[in-house]
Each structure stands twice: as C-alpha cells, then as structure tokens.
C-alpha cells in the first residue's frame, strides 16, 4: 500500500530510491543539463529530498519530473559498461 501525504501524493522516499554509482550519475546529469553545478548534484545520504528540491528549482521541474529524470539517468548510466 502506498503512503500518501496530505495532498494525496506518494512520498518521494517511496517513489525513488538512490542506488548505483552517484559520481557517474551526477556527471551524466551535469552533461545533460549544463546549468547544473557540482553543488546542485551533491548527494548526502539521508538528505535525498534536499537534492530533489535543488534539482526542482534549478531545472524548473516538479518533484515527479525530477524523480523521472533521476530514474532515467540511473538506467542510462547503469547500462554503460
């Protein structure tokens, strides 16, 4: 069963779990979105929502769009040998 907040949206922690090589993923994000800086893509365990919020602001996207970008980016970088 999905956990929902007061707006009825799924919690982002349940939408997306960070995994894989974040260094590789952050480099790919910065290549795809040149306006992102190292600070924008800085990942700290337990502060995933901070990263998502920074990307929302910098990319002018909503939370679901950012999560979709991160999922797509993970798949793209995981398939690279």
Distance of CA 66 to the CA centre of its chain: 6
Question: How far apart are the C-alpha atoms of 48 and 57, rounded to whole Å?
Answer: 15
Task: Spell out the per-residue pLDDT of the chain, length 81, in tens.
Answer: 334 444 444 444 444 677 889 999 999 999 999 999 999 999 998 899 999 999 999 999 999 999 999 999 999 998 765
Which pLDDT belongs to residue 4? 47
């Amino acid at each position: 069963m999905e956990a929902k907040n007061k707006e009825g949206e799924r919690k982002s922690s349940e939408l997306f779990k960070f995994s894989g090589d974040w260094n590789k993923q952050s480099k790919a994000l910065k290549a795809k979105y040149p306006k992102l800086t190292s600070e924008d893509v800085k990942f700290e365990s337990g502060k995933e929502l901070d990263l998502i919020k920074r990307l929302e602001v910098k990319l002018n996207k909503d939370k679901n769009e950012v999560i979709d970008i991160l999922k797509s980016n993970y798949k793209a970088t995981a398939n690279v040998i």
